[in-house]
């Protein structure tokens, strides 16, 4: 310990390190959501397999909360948080080397378990390093880091996928690049019901085919057309919309596939079959528009890359994307960031202020001097206090609050982009922009929520200073979802979603602080228990809300479900009492005294 008289500020660096940990936590967690299309195409995964991969994280993340929290209580935040960061970063990087479904599934299981200890450990750090009166603020800062990481992931991953796709990436199609040959032929040859820019460009492309190539395309398009009509009749007979038809067809025969590849690759190497103005009217990657504006300044390789990107935009479900080449280096890059963060955590986050060589007695006294919690935060940890957890009414109410909250909150992070795309038919650029706004609002809410709960504790006491922010914030989120019933415009919808995120964020620091108030030296285990149940709620949310919305999607039903969930969360939160300790009151042993 530092023996200088002037009070040190090591605690500020500790909270900053925990904030950076939270940023990386969500950056690594959400990057796969943005890149999942490219991963699916590269590994040849079915939609069902993609669902298993995304769900695998939540399963081990939930089950890992309590054991990882106990490990932190037992071995200290410095060792365990450094280990968690290194492990989940390793799994992130190894995902970039996965060769199939089984490999990526197992890596996601490991990723979920290694991230499970992050927030319980952060809560333990706050309980030992932050004065009681500032715990809510510190918890809000750390929680806001997650929202910052989510926003960075949403924006940065898309741009990095482009940047990390090498300029010399092969632009010509091979056999594996054709995901649905018959559908591609149908899209090229079938006369459109109404001419659009996309249909005109398809016709321009098809005109460049040779007579032999056009014969193959027409024949395969006929096969697909008959299969499509048969599938439509089945759907109509079952009372389902005919436009949902997506017939399963056989791959093209080798000879026909060879002819198709030769023709479409000749188009890629030829002069563009469109002009720069055409690209303003179709949904195409921004890189294609930039290259189109360069005109005669384009190199031959840039022309081929531009043609490939335009063809992909016209046949999104039929051919693989050029940017598939970017997702593996993306995972390697993100994983390497964990090495830097692990070093910061190891240098900063010692187990207690007394253990830190740069923290002096004046700062340690400040941290410990105003504690009003009914339990001690240090000492030797035995096992997870499971009996006390099960017997605590407040703990079960906290678990239910987190469960219901996550049903309403997870919509924003999993289904809001789908809502903007399907309900409002916005471009992917606009969808990305609008979907990033709620996490920003959530971060601001978390930051504000720390001040709110700390101020309320001073005004109305610990009991209601924690319960009121948790409860009232959920009622505000409920009201926002109720307004969503009335067919909001995209801008109004994103404003309401931002209000949901902001109000949910305001209540989160109070939830964290409650666990610190009642957990004593078992904070990691106790917060992990509640977080486990909350993540079970997040795990079921996408399937639940899509089932409620049905087909065609009735988003008002999904909004009603979210509003009900937030109402229940608000009611349940009123019963949480932070003045009743959950941690067992241990008799202090000699070994404890030595610690």
- Number of helices and strands (H, E) in the chain? 24, 0
Euclidean distance between CA atoms 146 and 25, whole angstroms = 7
* Cα separations in angstroms, 11 against 76, 333, 348: 16, 30, 9
Residues 6 or more apart from 302 whose CB is under 8 A from it?
A: 291, 294
pLDDT by residue, tens only, the chain of 595 residues: 556 667 888 888 989 999 999 999 999 998 887 787 888 889 998 866 777 787 788 888 888 877 887 788 788 888 999 999 999 999 999 999 999 999 999 999 999 999 988 888 888 888 888 888 787 788 778 877 888 898 888 778 878 888 898 888 999 999 999 999 999 999 999 887 788 999 999 999 999 999 999 999 999 999 999 999 998 898 888 887 777 678 888 999 999 999 999 999 999 999 999 999 999 888 888 888 889 999 888 999 999 999 999 999 899 889 998 988 999 999 999 999 999 999 999 998 887 788 888 888 887 888 776 555 545 555 555 556 777 777 788 889 998 999 999 889 888 877 777 687 668 756 555 766 787 888 889 878 887 888 888 899 999 998 899 999 999 999 999 999 999 998 899 999 999 999 999 999 899 888 878 887 887 767 767 777 777 788 888 777 777 877 787 655 788 998 999 999 999 999 999 999 988 887 655 544 344 444 3
| Secondary structure letter of residue 132 according to DSSP | G
CATH class of 1-169+322-371: mainly alpha
- 3-state class of 109 per DSSP? helix
Q: Please, where in the chain does CATH 1.20.1250.20 lie?
A: 1-169+322-371, 378-595
Radius of gyration (C-alpha) of the chain in whole angstroms: 27
Q: What pLDDT, on the 0 to 100 scale, is given for residue 210?
A: 95
CB 68 within 8 A of CB 117: yes
Q: Of 351, 347, 345, which Cα lies nearest the Cα of 380?
A: 351
CB 35 within 8 A of CB 327: yes
The 3-state secondary structure of 83-100, one letter per residue: HHHHHHHHHHHHHCCCCC
Environment class of 117 (CB within 10 Å of its CB; exposed 0-12, middle 13-18, buried 19+): buried
Euclidean distance between CA atoms 386 and 404, whole angstroms = 23
- 3-state class of 221 per DSSP? helix
* Cα separations in angstroms, 64 against 22, 89, 119, 395: 17, 17, 11, 18
Residues 6 or more apart from 351 whose CB is under 8 A from it?
A: 76, 77, 78, 128
Residue 190 Rama label (left phi>0; alpha psi -120 to 50; beta): beta
- What tokens does 116 get? 């499970």
Q: Of 457, 405, 436, 445, which Cα lies nearest the Cα of 565?
A: 405
Residue position matching structure tokens 């918890």: 139
* 378-595 CATH fold: Growth Hormone; Chain: A; (1.20.1250)
Strand pairing partners for 319? 178
Q: What pLDDT, on the 0 to 100 scale, is given for residue 423?
A: 82
- What tokens does 132 get? 């009681």
Task: Report the sign of the C-alpha dihedral through residues 511, 513, 518, 524, in that order.
Answer: positive
Environment class of 83 (CB within 10 Å of its CB; exposed 0-12, middle 13-18, buried 19+): buried
Q: What pLDDT, on the 0 to 100 scale, is given for residue 305?
A: 95
Q: What pLDDT, on the 0 to 100 scale, is given for residue 473?
A: 94
Torsion of CA 576, 531, 388, 66, to 10 degrees: -170
Q: What pLDDT, on the 0 to 100 scale, is given for residue 405?
A: 94
CB 511 within 8 A of CB 401: yes
Residues 6 or more apart from 591 whose CB is under 8 A from it?
A: 380
CA-based diameter of the chain, in Å? Answer: 91
CB 319 within 8 A of CB 41: no
Residues 6 or more apart from 492 whose CB is under 8 A from it?
A: none
Phi, psi of 524 (to 5 degrees): -60, -45
Euclidean distance between CA atoms 591 and 382, whole angstroms = 12
The 3-state secondary structure of 444-464, one letter per residue: HHHHHHHHHHHHHHHHHCHHH
- What tokens does 16 get? 């900053």
Euclidean distance between CA atoms 541 and 354, whole angstroms = 43
């Amino acid at each position: 310990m530092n023996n200088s008289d002037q009070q040190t500020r090591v605690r500020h660096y500790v909270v900053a390190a925990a904030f950076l940990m939270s940023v990386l936590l969500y950056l690594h967690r959400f990057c796969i959501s943005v890149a999942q299309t490219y991963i699916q195409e590269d590994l040849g995964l079915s939609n069902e397999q993609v669902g298993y991969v995304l769900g695998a994280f939540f399963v081990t993340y939930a089950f890992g909360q309590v054991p990882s929290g106990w490990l932190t209580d037992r071995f200290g935040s410095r060792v365990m948080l450094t280990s968690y960061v290194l492990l989940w970063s390793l799994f992130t990087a190894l995902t970039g080397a996965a060769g199939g479904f089984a490999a990526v599934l197992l890596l996601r299981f490991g990723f979920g378990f290694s991230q499970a200890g992050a927030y319980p450990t952060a809560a333990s750090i706050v309980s030992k390093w932050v004065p009681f009166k500032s715990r809510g603020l510190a918890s809000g800062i750390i929680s806001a880091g997650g929202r910052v990481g989510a926003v960075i992931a949403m924006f940065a991953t898309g741009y990095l996928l482009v940047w990390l796709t090498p300029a010399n990436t092969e632009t010509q199609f091979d056999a594996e690049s054709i995901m649905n040959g018959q559908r591609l032929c149908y899209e090229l040859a079938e006369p459109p019901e109404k001419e659009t820019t996309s249909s005109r460009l398809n016709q321009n492309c098809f005109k460049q085919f040779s007579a032999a190539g056009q014969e193959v395309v027409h024949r395969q398009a006929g096969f697909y057309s008959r299969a499509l009509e048969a599938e439509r009749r089945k759907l109509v007979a079952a009372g389902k919309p005919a436009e949902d038809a997506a017939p399963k067809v056989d791959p093209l025969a080798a000879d026909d596939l060879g002819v198709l590849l030769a023709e479409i690759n000749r188009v890629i190497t030829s002069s563009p079959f469109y002009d720069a103005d055409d690209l303003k009217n179709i949904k195409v990657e921004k890189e294609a528009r930039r290259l189109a504006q360069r005109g005669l300044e384009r190199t031959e390789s840039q022309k081929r890359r531009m043609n490939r990107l335009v063809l992909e935009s016209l046949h999104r479900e039929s051919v693989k994307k050029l940017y598939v080449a970017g997702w593996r280096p993306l995972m390697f890059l993100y994983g390497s960031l964990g090495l830097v963060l692990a070093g910061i955590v190891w240098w900063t986050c010692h187990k207690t202020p007394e253990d830190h060589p740069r923290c002096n007695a004046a700062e340690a006294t400040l941290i410990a001097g105003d504690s009003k919690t009914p339990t001690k935060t240090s000492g030797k940890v035995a096992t997870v206090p499971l009996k006390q957890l099960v017997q605590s009414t407040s703990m079960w109410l906290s678990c239910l609050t987190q469960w219901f909250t996550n049903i309403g909150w997870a919509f924003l992070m999993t289904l809001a982009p789908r809502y903007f795309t399907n309900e409002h038919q916005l471009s992917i650029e606009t969808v990305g922009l609008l979907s990033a706004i709620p996490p920003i609002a959530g971060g601001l809410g978390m930051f504000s929520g720390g001040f709110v709960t700390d101020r309320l504790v001073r005004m109305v006491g610990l009991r209601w200073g924690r319960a009121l922010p948790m409860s009232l914030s959920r009622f505000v989120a409920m009201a926002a979802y109720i307004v969503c019933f009335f067919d909001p415009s995209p801008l109004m919808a994103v404003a309401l979603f931002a209000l949901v995120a902001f109000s949910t964020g305001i209540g989160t620091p109070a939830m964290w602080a409650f666990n610190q108030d009642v957990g004593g030296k078992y904070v990691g285990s106790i917060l992990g228990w509640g977080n486990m149940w909350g993540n079970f709620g997040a795990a079921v949310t996408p399937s639940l809300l899509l089932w409620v919305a049905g087909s065609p999607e009735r988003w008002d039903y999904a909004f009603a479900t979210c509003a009900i969930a937030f109402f229940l969360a608000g009611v349940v939160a009123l019963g949480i009492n932070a003045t009743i300790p959950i941690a067992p009151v241990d008799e202090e042993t000699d070994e404890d005294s030595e610690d």
